[in-house]
Structure 1
Amino acid sequence: MDVLVPIDGTEGSFRALTFAAEFARNFDATLHVVHFSDEATPATDEILERAREVLESADIESNPELSTDMQLEFRPAERVGENILELVEENDYDHVIMSHRGSGTIERAILGSAAQTIVRAEAVPVTIVP
């Protein structure tokens, strides 16, 4: 089973990654970890390094990737959700494990939610980690 784990650097995304590592061990799954950004920066390097540390401590072999193939628009979370769905389709992932920030109604209305975009698409099973 191939599992996609998008991370964004928040504590929630690292909780999701930790959960995904346990999931991978229990179900003999392969994790594919990705961080989306419009460009590589020292902050993106830190996010990927922290993800490597989580995976190494869980004894999971996976190399987190940075995807810069996107343009941030007015609704960046929705665009990230669309990018995740594109990856799912291109790579035939079996499952997505990700976090949800728990944003309020107004913030979701303005910014959208990557997790909501994935769930509503009904393209792949999704586990949302709070």
Structure 2
Amino acid sequence: MDVLVPIDGSECSFRALQFAANFARNFGATLHVVHFSDEATDATDEILSRARSVLDAEDVDAELRLSEDVQLEFRPGDRVGENVLELVEENDYDHVIMGHHGSGAIERAILGSAAETIVRAEAVPVTIVP
């Protein structure tokens, strides 16, 4: 089973990564961790480094990568959701595990929600970690 885990640097995304590491160990899944950004910065390096630390601590081997998308400046939640769905289709992932900020209606209206975009697409089973 191939599992995609998008992370954004938030605490809920790292809780999702922790959950995914346990999931992978218990079910023999292969993790593919991705962080979307409009450009590589010190902050993106820190996010990927922290993710590697979580995976190493859990003794889980995983593909970890940065995906750059210059369109993320506008409606980032929706765009990230679309990016995740594109990766699912391109790589035939079996499952997505991701965090969700629990933002309210106003934040979703302005920024969109990556998790909501993926769930509504019904393209792949999704586990949302608060």
Q: The TM-score by the shorter chain falls in which range?
A: over 0.9
Identity %: 80
Structure 2 unaligned runs (5+)?
A: none
SS in 1 for 2:103: coil
Query: d(CA) in 1 for partners of 2:44 and 2:8?
Result: 9
Aligned length: 130
1:1-130 paired onto structure 2 within 5 Å: 1-130=1-130
SS in 2 for 1:82: helix
Cα shift readout 1:50-90 (whole Å, capped 9, x = no counterpart)? 00000000000113100003412431110000000000000
The Cα of 1:47 is off from its aligned counterpart by 0.1
Structure 1 unaligned runs (5+)?
A: none
SS in 1 for 2:63: coil
- Write the letter of the residue equivalent to 2:4: L
Query: Does the 8 A contact of 1:38 with 1:69 survive in 2?
Result: yes
1:70/1:4 CA distance change after superposition, 3 Å: farther
Query: Does the 8 A contact of 2:38 with 2:73 survive in 1?
Result: no
- Write the letter of the residue equivalent to 1:74: F
Query: Does the 8 A contact of 2:77 with 2:113 survive in 1?
Result: yes
